[in-house]
Chain A
C-alpha cells in the first residue's frame, strides 16, 4: 500500500512524497526523511493519520501516512 507525506497548503494539501514501503530505497528514505525534518524545522507539526490513528509524529515513519500542519497562532 502506498504511503504519503502531505502538507496543508492554500491548495488544500500538497503531496510532498509518496512511496511504497516495500520498495523504498535507502536513498529515497533519506530524501523523504530530510524533507520531513526540513518541514518540522519550519514549524510544521506532523501527524500520523494512517487508518484513523491521528497521533502526533515526532519522527518520520515510512510505514505511515503523514500530514504536516503549518505553525498555528492565536487569531
Chain B
C-alpha cells in the first residue's frame, strides 16, 4: 500500500515549478512569478494561462471572450498543467482550441446595442432601396 504524503505533494510541486521555470523564457517566467499567469499571444486570442483557475481568452483589443479548460489525462501538479498548455499553445493553437473545453462569454450590452444598430441600418437601407 502507498499513500501520498504532504512532503511528496510539496516535492512534486517544487519539481514541476522548477521545470516550468526552465522551459519558460525569462521574461515570461518573471511575469508568471509575479502574477501566477503565463500569457501567450496566439493567432485567434491572447491566452492567460492561470496556475489555479481556467485559461482566459482575450481578443486582440484586450476584451475577454471566454475561458478554456484543458486537463492532463494523468494526475500532475498544477505547474505541469500550465507547462503543458504553454507548450501546446505555442506549437499548435488550433489543436488547443479543438481539444480544450472553451466557454465563450456572452456579448456585452454595448456589443448587443452595436449589433442592433448595424442590423437596423441594414434594414432601413434595404427598405429605402425597395421604396425607390
Contacts and interface: CB of A to CB of B under 8 A. Distances in A.
B12 A10 contact: yes
Contact of A13 (B8, B19, B75): B19
Contacts of B18: 12
Interface string A36-52: 00000001010101001
Interface in B9-64: 11-16, 18-19, 22-23, 25, 54
Nearest to B74: A70
Interface stretch (B79-87, B105-113, B114-122, B123-131): B79-87
B77 A70 contact: no
A25 interface: no
Given A8-B84, A54-B87, A75 B101 contact: yes
Chain A, interface SS category = strand
B90 A54 contact: yes
Size class of the B contact interface (CB-based, 8 Å): 35 or more
Interface string A1-26: 00000101111110000000000000
Interface in B67-83: 69-77, 79-80, 83
A31 interface: no
A56 B92 contact: yes
Contacts of A12: 11-16, 18-19, 76-77, 79-80
A69 B72 contact: yes
Contact of A9 (B25, B54, B74, B79): B74
A51 B11 CA distance: 24
Nearest to A43: B73
B11 A11 contact: yes
Given A70-B74, A74-B69, A75-B69, 5 more contacts: A12-B16, A12-B18, A12-B77, A69-B72, A72-B70
7 contacts: A10-B76, A11-B8, A12-B13, A70-B72, A70-B84, A74-B69, A75-B101
